[in-house]
Amino acid sequence: MRKNIEVDLGQQVLFAYDNDKKAYEFDCVSGDKEHPTNVGTFSIFRKERKYRSKKYNVQMDYAMFFTTDGKAIHQGYAVGPLSYIKFVGIDTIGSHGCVRLAESDARTLFDWAPLHTKVKIIASAKAT
């Protein structure tokens, strides 16, 4: 079984694939203008069900870290509305480079994705 995650920054959507078949599709919120989310291919190297950021003093439950500077896929709040606002081009809101998901989505993905799951982050154009 081969699992991988793709985050489309233009669409503000996270896709999870199992053997190239889409298993999940979740709205997400990525980094803001001052703290962009890294584009590239990464791997989940650490998972923490309960976690609080030492740098920003914010809760990051269901955290799956994909960069060594602390960026992770994790639970956030008001993901649906914020995802839409970012999708329409307002880039002054967002995370500090993390990928935020609604609580139920973050929990589902956390339980689904094992360590070393590939995470590909792309900066696609918005849908027309």
Say how far apart CA 68 and CA 40 lie, in whole Å: 14
| 23 in any annotated domain | yes
Does the residue 106 lie in any domain?
Answer: yes
Q: Does residue 127 sit within a domain?
A: no
CATH of the domain at 99: 2.40.440.10
Residue 98 inside a domain? The answer is yes
- Residue span of the structural domain in which 10 resides: 3-122
**What is the tally of structural domains in the chain?**
1
Residue pLDDT tens, the chain, 128 long = 699 999 999 999 999 999 999 999 999 999 999 999 999 999 999 999 999 999 889 999 999 999 999 999 999 999 999 999 999 988 899 999 999 999 999 999 999 999 999 999 999 866 54
The answer to whether residue 128 is domain-embedded is no
Strands of 49-98 (E only): list them. Answer: 63-65, 72-75
Q: Is residue 108 part of a domain?
A: yes
What b/e sequence results for 41-54 when a residue is b if at least 16 CB atoms lie within 10 Å of its CB, and e otherwise? Answer: ebebeebeeebeee
Answering whether pTM is above 0.85, one says yes
Please list the alpha-helical segments (H only) found in the chain: 79-87, 103-112
Residue 85's SS3 state is helix
User: Does 59 reside within a domain?
Assistant: yes
Alpha-carbon distance of 33 to 64, in angstroms, equals 22
Q: Is residue 84 part of a domain?
A: yes
